[in-house]
Amino acid sequence: MKRKREDIPPPPPPDATPSRRSRVKDLTAGPNTPSKTNGTPRKAVSFLNEPSETELGRSPRTPRQKQIDVNDDSTAADPPIVRNANRSARRKSVRNMIQRSIREDLMDEEDGFEEEDNLAQRIFDDEDAGSSESESDDEKNAAAGTSTPAKKPRGRPKKKKEKSPPPVVAIEGPTAYFEQNRARARPSSTTTTLPPLSPKTYFRLLEQHEDKHAADIEHLNSLHKANFDQWVFELSQGFNILLYGYGSKRKLLMEFIKKEAALGNHVVVVNGYVGGLTIRDIVNMVVNAVVGMNHGVKFGVNVNEMMDSVLQILDEHREKDEDKSVTLLVHSIDAAALRTPQAQALLAQLSSHLAIRLIASSDNILSSLLWDSSTLTLFNFIFHDATTFVPYDLEISAADESEGIVDVITGGTAGRSGRSGAKGVKYVLASLTGNAKNLYRILIAAQLTAMEDDGAGKDKMGTEAYGIAYRTLYQKGLEEFVCSSDLVFKTLLKEFYDHQMVTSRKDLQGSEVLWAPFRKEELESILEDIMLG
Amino acid sequence: MDNDSVLNDDSGSLEHQACYIYTPTSEALSLSTPKKRRAASSSRTPRSKREKIDSKNCEIVGARGHGFPTLLRDLEDEDAVNARYEAFQRLWRDVERRTDDVLAQVNDETLQSVSTFVSKASQDVYGEKLPTGLILTGPNIAAHGVLFQQIETRIQSVDKRGRVAVLTSKDSSNLKNVLKKIIRCITEIHDGFDDEDDIVEAKMGRNVKPSRYNYDPEIIHDWCSTHLDAKVVVAVQDTEAFDPAVLVELISILHQYLPKIPFILLLGIATSEDIFYEKLPHSTIRLLRGDRFDVQRFEESMEQVFEEAVLSSQSILKLGPRVSDVIFERQKDHTRSVASFVMALKYAYMSHFYANSLSVILGSIDSEEALNTILSDAHCEAIRNLPSFKPFVEAKISMFPWRARDLITSNKALKSAVFTASQECQRYSANLAEAINLFRKLQSIVSPQQANEIPTYELYSRILWGEFTTRPAFRDAMLTAKKISSEKFHTLLTTISELPSQLSSELSAARNKVQELQSEKAAKGSTLVSEFALPDSHRTTVKSGRVRLDEQKSKMTSQDTEYHKTVTSTVQQLEAYFKDKFKPYTNLFLHEIFFYDLKSPHSQVFAAKPRPSVERALSRPGDYLGCECCGNNDDEEAGMSGSQPYTAILYQLYLESPALIGVYDLWSAFRVVSLGDKADQEVDDEDEEEKELQAQFYRALAELRYLGLVKYSKKKADHLVKLAWKGL
């Protein structure tokens, strides 16, 4: 009993219920749907397909429904125990259990709750037995709400209601850490993905967008600009400057170096966010700035040796021309390319030279961890909070491809569901043997048939529901002479797993189900490719 | 906005270039100077044009080139700005020179003994063992580089005992590199050691046997054949970080070549000898023999620098109590480095002269005339607005009402008052330094343990507040001063009467008296005892104690009574003296100018707070943007609203979500918050507005990732892992 309560999903916010429509459907379909015995996975999903699709477009909840939901709570606990009790009842029970655990005092007030608890418990036990098909349904239902308790009343102040469970209080710090890391089932939508956006559209739309805070940002910027004189003074006194805070500081710094350049200093700009930048490039460029492009100075292979000779050149330069120095402007000094201790140590060494003035920006929240006390002493930083609120457009797009915005748009490496994933599959397939290709063809053909039967839209993701059993696939492979033994079959599959072209899961009976985690449209194009190739 | 277009023009394609030399456009160049003027004052355009020409002629020297602003709402004239800058330069250079001198001496003892060690080390003394000096450098790794540089110059250039190759852990990648570096250091640097002939010889030495690899220690042998008396010192700066395997090999090689080359090894150890011994095999340690050298403790060198840079009467600008608390707290808890203290002090100077227009007074305190010329009417007005001006005038009212009126109405009277006040401030500082010095001496004799525990710089702020005389540390010192034995009291008087102070005559008189009494008593074969010093340890009950006390009192001779009187009066005098000198500095007129006491720049500028800053910006964007829409009100409900920047909305949703976040969940929540009421309307996929919001969502997500708040989960598709909890 006690253990159970801990396993309960978090208090679903009052508005976390699915749309009214789906709920109604749910109830009507109740008696014969997700029963374990006859409910084929496909069927179970089918009635939920539709609401999940509409969720993309519109909010699943309205305040009016919330009212009803809450009222329902009081009546939901009626005794009739149906084995395949519908989900809404289960959800209500969950809510009741949670409400009670929050307001412990209620526990002792009524015996009726005990019974209700038992009911909820029984339902839960059934669920726990492993009905994965309804689990995925559930995730869908809960998709919009449960895992994002963001819809606190204060977000939309107008929609307050009288009888509501205690609101989710915004917790911070350690409490939040333990609360949010607690090991328990947190439903989150695994099956719905964001509709992808082509990079072109993305940039066009952002270009078009007019920031409602443009004036405020400009004002903030002007406040920073008022400090330029001070920065020049600090730099001239042998300190180096590091700017931190949210927002891209690129433009601000580019403005600033105009001032430095006007003083007759050489200015070297380093874009730390550009991938492939090395410390050698920086050192080289500093030398170029001091002695001109075609200096013909050769440096050793070892970067440390190189540094020694560079410092010597700088010494000579300073003797000749004491007032002029080299201003080194490093955008994002904490970017991936400069994150090695060696790079930072060399930068520190360089910046500690009298002829070098360093002004840099850092963005990562943990950037201070880059430096130990000795590099920090060499850097001799003056830190300024330069929160600009300017979007990091360049920084996030210019970064390493796998880190950048393009990746976010297409779903990233972990989100292998994106368009790029399907493209990658074609490359992988091109390099595989004919047998492997054929096996993959069998797999996705079976999956497509299942999807076709289901009437899935072209954007529908491949899921477990459309998968093919391991044994079935093996049998089909044998029939088509794709593989001769289980071992060969496994080897072929291994390749698919490695490239994340296939996902599998053990179903209720313990047999493995395989499917390709791509959208229907993509599957079709892959199939086409295989057939043509 | 026109600037932006310029910016884009000249760097458009450069945004994606890793690094490049910035070439300002001609427009940008010409823009910068007048723009600054325009910002400074729009009314003085004709004059600023003239200045522009001037500055072009003389390459922008002086204050303008260093960004000193015009203060006092632009009423400060150019001369005053320049005078301020010059005052800063002059005063700081003076402090810097004196601290540098102190710092140079800090390691002097160590350097001296290391140098002697190097000169004495020879095969006669150490036999087959490799002469090794263990230099216990202490934990402040930032100072090690300087120390080893000093060792190098000392041995190589000053004492000319041989060559030094300083190795750091960076060189320890493999033995070949280490040997190469040693050879390069030993054979190629020639300045200051020998005349030019040797270079040729050394080169010839290498030319004769060109077949040698550049890591062959024989090269050093060749070099040694031309430099017979020179020692070859190999110094490892950070032994702990040095690859132990390479170090073992290096030691064995040095040992093998010992008969041919007079190698000496110096090892810098930051931790302790024991840890060093544990790191190396016994067989290697057996090859070494030598000595260890301690480097001066941080506290001692810090104390010396503090006395020179802050307390010394030559330093005109002093630190106030608040700022010194900030600085020394940072020293104690974080940096523990003298260099960083000097930097903090420099920043105090910089900030004072940069932002306080009245700091110009500090530049011309020596001559009343200079002061009169530099102080303009605006300055006088500013002085009248100082917090310390009011009590100053009020104090005058009761005695000399006409002078109080003069101070308010006449600039001339004010200027002369400023001059007197500046003298007064300096006198206060001088007295303070003297009294602190006296007190420290007294404390070191009376209770040396306490004196060791609390360094002067920690007493400093309490003394400035004027509350030190009520502190237990002070009362303890005074009480124990009464109780100490007569010999000790005599030493105390001798020491402190030698210090220059207004008490010195009284103190030496007391000393003579004590000496006299002591010799009288000594003739009788006993020592002087005062009532304070009576033993009270074997007191059992109040009554018996009193009896005993009476007994002992009756035993006291006339000398003892006399001595007792002297002790009482001397300690009273001292106490009165300290109470007089340790008055709060805020009593002084113009203390705002002679004591720099702003807490905020120091506490912010020396420690970055990237995370709190980002967290605050994103959770309460109104704090930074100052806009009305983003909940600028102070109540707790200010939270999320659709009008906030998108990244801020997403961040707040992120705060509330569990450790594993579904991207889609985040998106639907994001959508609801940003659209508000509109979120419920039916939209189709191709809706432009919806798409745009999506683009914003993607960007906000990428920004959170860039800031290091989330990363993609490997466990689940389309899920994010939360990396930071607010306030944790």
Lowest mean pLDDT among A157-161, A358-362, B85-89: A157-161
Chain A CB contacts of B666 below 8 Å: 148
Q: Is residue B276 part of a domain?
A: yes
Q: Do A246 and B614 touch (CB under 8 A)?
A: yes
Residue B260 has pLDDT above 90, yes or no: no
Residue of A nearest to B607 (CA): A383
Q: What is the pLDDT of residues A317-336, one digit of tens each?
A: 888 777 778 899 999 998 88
Q: Do A408 and B724 touch (CB under 8 A)?
A: no
pLDDT of residue B400: 86
pLDDT of residue A53: 37
Token output for B121: 């080390």
Region B450-460 average pLDDT: 84
Chain A CB contacts of B354 below 8 Å: 230, 233
Task: Indicate whether B569 and B665 sit together in one domain.
Answer: no
Task: Give DSSP secondary structure letters for A177-188.
Answer: HHHHH--S----
Q: Is residue B43 part of a domain?
A: no
Task: Indicate whether B382 and B412 sit together in one domain.
Answer: yes
Specify the length of chain B in residues: 728
| B263 neighbors B254 (Cβ within 8 angstroms) | yes
Name B290's bridge partners. Answer: B132
Return d(Cα B302, Cα B315) in angstroms, integer: 16
Indicate the burial class of B266 (C-beta count within 10 angstroms; 0-12, 13-18, 19 or more): buried
Interface contacts (A, B; CB < 8 Å): 387
For chain B, how big is the Rg over CA atoms in Å?
35
Q: Is residue B30 part of a domain?
A: no
Chain B CB contacts of A504 below 8 Å: none
Q: Which domain holds residue B686?
A: 610-722
pLDDT confidence bin for A244, thresholds 50/70/90: very high
Q: What is the pLDDT of residues A9-59, one digit of tens each?
A: 444 444 433 334 434 334 333 334 333 333 333 333 333 333 333 333 333
Q: Is residue B203 part of a domain?
A: yes
Task: Indicate whether B419 and B429 sit together in one domain.
Answer: yes
Task: Indicate whether B424 and B313 sit together in one domain.
Answer: yes
Q: Do B665 and A148 touch (CB under 8 A)?
A: yes
φ/ψ region of B167 (left if φ > 0, alpha if ψ in -120 to 50, else beta) reads beta
Return d(Cα A141, Cα A51) in angstroms, integer: 8
Q: Is residue B221 part of a domain?
A: yes
Return d(Cα B262, Cα B121) in angstroms, integer: 9
Q: What is the pLDDT of residues A278-325, one digit of tens each?
A: 888 888 888 888 887 766 677 766 777 788 788 888 888 888 777 778
Kindly state the helix (H) or strand (E) to which residue B235 belongs, with its residue range: strand B231-236
pLDDT of residue A99: 62
Q: Rounded to whole angstroms, what are the CA distances from B501 to A131, A424, B432? A: 92, 86, 11
Chain A CB contacts of B701 below 8 Å: 408
Chain A CB contacts of B69 below 8 Å: 229-230
Q: What is the pLDDT of residues B60-80, one digit of tens each?
A: 444 455 668 888 878 888 888
Give the residue carrying structure tokens 């999940």. A52
Q: Do A216 and B145 touch (CB under 8 A)?
A: no
Of A188, A231, A233, the CB nearest to B662: A188
All structural domains of chain A, each given as residue ranges with its CATH number in brackets, are 2-181 (no CATH), 215-398 (3.40.50.300), 419-532 (1.10.10.10)
| Structural domain total, chain B | 4
Residue of A nearest to B695 (CA): A202
Task: Indicate whether B526 and B546 sit together in one domain.
Answer: yes
CATH number for the domain including B696? 1.10.10
Of B614, B660, B706, the CB nearest to A245: B614
Task: Indicate whether B85 and B117 sit together in one domain.
Answer: no
3-state DSSP assignment of residue B289: strand
Residue of A nearest to B37 (CA): A229
What HEC string does A420-480 produce? Answer: HHHHHHHHHHHCCCHHHHHHHHHHHHHHHHHHHHHCCCCCCECCHHHCEEHHHHHHHHHHC
- Of B295, B329, B356, the residue at which a domain comes to its end is B295
User: Pseudo-torsion of CA A43, A47, A53, A54, nearest 10°?
Assistant: 180
Task: Indicate whether B305 and B374 sit together in one domain.
Answer: yes
Mutate which: B149, B343, B668, vs A, most A CBs within 10 A: B668
Q: Do A396 and B177 touch (CB under 8 A)?
A: no
pLDDT of residue B555: 67
- How many other CB atoms sit within 10 Å of the CB of residue B196? 8
Of A197, A389, A404, the CB nearest to B691: A197
Q: Does A178 touch chain B (CB under 8 A)?
A: no
* Distant-in-sequence, close-in-space partners of A347: CB < 8 Å, separation ≥ 6: A279, A282, A330, A333, A338, A358, A379
Token output for B520: 């009288």
Question: Of A326, A342, A379, A388, nearest to B608 (Cα)?
Answer: A379
Of A144, A363, A417, the CB nearest to B718: A417
Q: Does A303 touch chain B (CB under 8 A)?
A: no
Lowest mean pLDDT among A196-200, B266-270, B377-381: A196-200
Q: Do A57 and B690 touch (CB under 8 A)?
A: yes
Q: Does A432 touch chain B (CB under 8 A)?
A: no
Q: Percent of chain B having pLDDT more than 90?
A: 10
Label the pairing between strands B710-712 and B719-722.
antiparallel
Contacting A residues, span 95-134, partner chain B, CB-CB under 8 Å: none
pLDDT of residue B213: 75
pLDDT of residue A268: 92
Token output for B34: 């007048």
pLDDT confidence bin for A243, thresholds 50/70/90: very high
Min Cα–Cα distance to chain B from A480, Å: 33
Chain A CB contacts of B170 below 8 Å: 304, 342, 345
Q: Do A59 and B679 touch (CB under 8 A)?
A: yes
Q: Is residue B202 part of a domain?
A: yes
Residue of B nearest to A271 (CA): B18
Give the residue carrying structure tokens 């069927």. A43
Residue B323 has pLDDT above 50, yes or no: yes
Q: Is residue B357 part of a domain?
A: yes
Task: Indicate whether B448 and B490 sit together in one domain.
Answer: no
Token output for B85: 């800058």
- How many other CB atoms sit within 10 Å of the CB of residue B601? 19
pLDDT confidence bin for B348, thresholds 50/70/90: very high
Task: Indicate whether B273 and B301 sit together in one domain.
Answer: no
Name B163's bridge partners. Answer: B232
Residue A463 CA, chain-centre distance (Å), reads: 20
Q: What is the pLDDT of residues A385-395, one digit of tens each?
A: 999 999 888 88
Q: Is residue B401 part of a domain?
A: yes
Token output for B706: 């860039």
Return d(Cα A66, Cα B548) in angstroms, integer: 90
- Of B545, B573, B605, the residue at which a domain comes to its end is B605
Return d(Cα A504, Cα A471) in angstroms, integer: 13
- Of B236, B267, B295, the residue at which a domain comes to its end is B295
Min Cα–Cα distance to chain A from B146, Å: 11
What is the DSSP code (8-state) at residue B262? -
Contacting A residues, span 76-95, partner chain B, CB-CB under 8 Å: none
Task: Indicate whether B454 and B378 sit together in one domain.
Answer: yes
pLDDT confidence bin for A86, thresholds 50/70/90: low
Residue of A nearest to B355 (CA): A230
Q: Do B32 and A258 touch (CB under 8 A)?
A: yes
Chain A CB contacts of B665 below 8 Å: 143-148, 188-189
Return d(Cα A313, Cα A305) in angstroms, integer: 13
pLDDT of residue B231: 86
Min Cα–Cα distance to chain B from A73, Å: 24
| B158 neighbors B300 (Cβ within 8 angstroms) | no
Return d(Cα B389, Cα B112) in angstroms, integer: 53
Task: Indicate whether B137 and B213 sit together in one domain.
Answer: yes
Q: Do A389 and B36 touch (CB under 8 A)?
A: no
Question: Of B343, B382, B416, nearest to B592 (Cα)?
Answer: B382
Token output for B569: 């009066």
- How many other CB atoms sit within 10 Å of the CB of residue B449? 8
Task: Give DSSP secondary structure letters for A220-252.
Answer: HHHHHHTTHHHHHHHHHTT-EEEEESSS--HHH
Give the residue carrying structure tokens 């009016």. A64
3-state DSSP assignment of residue B662: strand
Compute the mean pLDDT over every residue in chain B, rounded to the nearest whole number: 80
Residue of A nearest to B334 (CA): A373
Residue B677 has pLDDT above 60, yes or no: yes
Task: Give DSSP secondary structure letters for B579-617.
Answer: HHHT--GGGSTTHHHHEE---HHHHHHTS--HHHHHHHH
pLDDT of residue A245: 92
Task: Indicate whether B303 and B372 sit together in one domain.
Answer: yes
Give the residue carrying structure tokens 């939040």. A176
